[in-house]
Amino acid sequence: MGILTSAVDVRSDAFRANRAHYDGLLATLRDRLAACTASGRAELVARHHARGKILVRDRIDLLVDPGTAFLELSPLAAWGQYDNGLPAAGIVTGIGLVAGTPCVVIANDATVKGGSFYAETVKKHIRAQEIAEQNRLPCLYLVDCGGANLPQQDKVFPDRDHFGNTFHRQCRMSAAGLPQVSVVFGGCTAGGAYIPALSDQVVMVEGNARIHLGGPSIVKVAINEEVDGETLGGAAMHTRVSGVSDHLAADEPQALARLREIVAELNLGRDLAAGAAPVEAPLYDPAELGGVVSHDRRIPYDVREIVARLVDGSRFQEFKPEWGATLVCGWARIHGRPVGILGNNGALFSESSLKAAHFIELCDQRAIPLLFLHNITGFMVGAEAERGGIAKDSAKMVYAMSIARVPKISVLVGGSYGAGNYGMCGRGFRPHFLFAWPSAELATMSADIAANVMLELRRGNVKAAPPTDDELAAIDRAVRDQYGEQSDPYYATSRLWDDGLIEPAQTRDVLGLCLALVSTVPDAGPRTPVYRM
Ligand code: COA
């Protein structure tokens, strides 16, 4: 396999300028992550502790194997919404090792609106379940949840992908052999009660944990019965009388230790290290990535510079290096796992689209997962491109990618616009994982192009009077503002359009974990034939 040679001079002015710009992006990311992972308001955190409860991320620390990483998903969900009063959307999800078994953890943060569900909470919960299902992982629920957030009920309750869907998934995953286990830490009402009630096995913490379909106030209103929470749904009652709970724990550490014991006996036998080649560090430091990515979108850079800092030994077997130059395709290993990489080096032309389709088919035939590195303005437009059949050639790329059975992972390193996002396996194409760098932008097109299109449409409007300069300037400003706000990576991650913003230097390790997960899932069956493009 060839070894990539970097042409980047880390002492150059260009590198320093890129690095300084990226350091600013990273500082913002770290500040926002710190705010989002600090749980709810200070007085609610203090009350939580005063009740003898442990904060949600500390619970996860106690749960996962010491010294192993926990990959937290979408920590910036709901960022910038609800006056920033819903940190992490009130729920922590992620993947970690528990008693040696990779598990998805879904944990309510009771210090954020009582762990009740907003639209982003539901979406994040469902996305974690989807990841569990796709990667055949058990789900561990750390439940501390007031159910649907009542004022938000129309956004979380009635529709197909709302709260009910989480329970549908829970039942179906359990039936498909993916264990669903809950520990209950606090008051769980209605939907919050169904999470443990539909679990295969339940642990409750004495004193604080409650499970009831209706809490004391609902009971009073509905049937005029006066009952306290402990009598109605306490841990002792449910473990000794109703049988809703299977294990009573004296405190939270004991409950988490019990959960670890349960996971140790799940008999799943999943070894994430199985089948991996020895791991080699890249020849070029991943910490240099911030200096590689151009701080100005108009100044191009070679995506091979990114690949050289992500893959084992910077080894890369490039496919068709002399054809379809605007898409770089090739095979490499990350943390010892084979991967087929597609990275943009400019707009996608017919040739690069056909090359992509051919490469995807080869990876599918060889059962090699695909990694898409997005930095794409779109497929080529214009008379020459259309005469050359860009509509059908781009469709071939989209089609080949859509039907490939191999796992797909996308990382947005730069722009991801329009149909280019589709061809490169954007969210709509259900990649197994999709992460973004803080330099990402996601929209139908750039603000500049969108503003010009809208101006053209206004000028061409035959029903209205010719536009004034002021009107055109107002349209231009409004479209630029809208696209500027909505293509921002924080806007995207807040709405769960990705699985989280990650730092370039962390990307190799995140991909290593994802590839280990997808590579140890049983084979997906028949493959796409290789049609030469
Ligand atoms: N909908 C809307 N807001 C809710 C809520 C819900 N289901 N559950 C809790 N909250 C809010 C509270 O209004 C409070 O908001 P604030 O931070 O603005 O003051 C915050 O969450 C904390 O609630 P609080 O009751 O003080 O916390 P607690 O730890 O003492 O109790 C619960 C937590 C979940 C046991 C309790 O809030 C509760 O029983 N909630 C109602 C549950 C319910 O009836 N759900 C039905 C869903 S269909």
Nearest CA to ligand 1 atom 16: 113
- Model confidence band, residue 1 (pLDDT cutoffs 50, 70, 90): confident
Mean pLDDT of 193-198: 97
Atom of ligand 1 nearest to the CA of 145: 34
Taking only the tens place, the pLDDT of each residue in 438-463 is 999 999 999 999 999 999 999 999 88
Give residue 79 CA to ligand 1 midpoint distance, Å. Answer: 21
Tell how far the Cα of 456 is from the centroid of ligand 1, in angstroms: 51
Query: What's the 93 CA to ligand 1 centre distance in angstroms?
Result: 21
How many whole angstroms from 60 Cα to the centroid of ligand 1? Answer: 22
CB 402 within 8 A of CB 409: no
Report CA(142)–ligand 1 centroid distance (Å): 17
In this predicted structure, the answer to whether residue 275 has a pLDDT above a threshold of 90 is: no
Hey, whose CA ends up nearest to atom 14 of ligand 1?
113
| CA 30 to ligand 1 centroid distance, Å | 30
Tell me what pLDDT residue 524 has: 67
Atom of ligand 1 nearest to the CA of 217: 44
Ligand 1 mean position to 151 CA, how many Å? 11
For tokens 């605007």, the residue is: 326
- Tell me how many degrees the CA angle 340-315-306 measures, rounded to the nearest 5: 70
Question: Mean per-residue pLDDT for 393-415?
Answer: 97
Q: Which residue has the tokens 């191999």?
A: 406
Q: Using alpha carbons, select from 416, 420, 422 the residue that is nearest to residue 402.
A: 422
Given this model, what pLDDT does residue 531 score?
85
As a whole number, mean pLDDT of residues 491-517 equals: 98
Given the DSSP bridges, would you call strands 101-108 and 433-436 parallel, antiparallel or unpaired?
Answer: unpaired
Within 6 Å (CB) of ligand 1, which residues are found?
A: 110, 113-114, 116, 146-150, 187, 189-191, 215, 218
CB count, 10 Å around CB of 279?
14
Instruction: Decide if pLDDT at 85 tops 70.
Output: yes
- State the distance from the centre of ligand 1 to the C-alpha of 376, rounded, in angstroms: 44
- Nearest alpha carbon, ligand 1 atom 15: 113
Compute, in angstroms, the gap from residue 9 CA to the centroid of ligand 1: 56
| Residue 17 pLDDT greater than 90, yes or no | yes
Distance 181 CA to ligand 1 centre (A): 24
Q: What is the pLDDT of residue 321?
A: 97
Asked whether the CA dihedral 274, 276, 280, 286 is positive or negative, the reply is negative
Of 166, 189, 213, 217, which is best to mutate to test ligand 1, by the most ligand atoms within 8 angstroms of its C-beta? Answer: 189
- With the most atoms of ligand 1 within 8 angstroms of its CB, the residue from 150, 154, 194 to mutate is 150
The pTM of the full predicted model, rounded to 2 decimals, is 0.96
Region of residue 26 (left: phi > 0; alpha: psi -120 to 50; beta: else): alpha
Q: Which residues have CB under 8 Å from 293's CB, separation 6+? A: 18, 22, 301, 306, 413, 414, 437, 439, 504
Tell which wins on pLDDT, 270 or 454. 454
**523 has pLDDT over 80:** no
Percent helix / strand / coil, the chain, rounded to 5:
45, 20, 35
According to DSSP, residue 181 is labeled E
| Best residue among 113, 144, 162 to mutate for probing ligand 1, ranked by most atoms within 8 Å of CB | 113
- What confidence tens digit (pLDDT) does each residue in 107-127 have? 999 999 999 999 999 999 999
For range 259-286, the mean pLDDT: 94
At residue 462, the pLDDT reads 86
Confidence of residue 490 (pLDDT cuts 50, 70, 90): very high
Which residue's alpha carbon is nearest to atom 7 within ligand 1?
149
Closest residue (by CA) to atom 20 of ligand 1?
Answer: 113
Atom of ligand 1 nearest to the CA of 40: 17
Alpha-carbon distance of 124 to 104, in angstroms, equals 12
Query: Per-residue pLDDT averaged across 237-254, rounded?
Result: 98
Nearest CA owner, ligand 1 atom 36? 146
Average pLDDT over residues 125-151: 97
In this structure, the residue with its CA closest to atom 35 of ligand 1 is 187
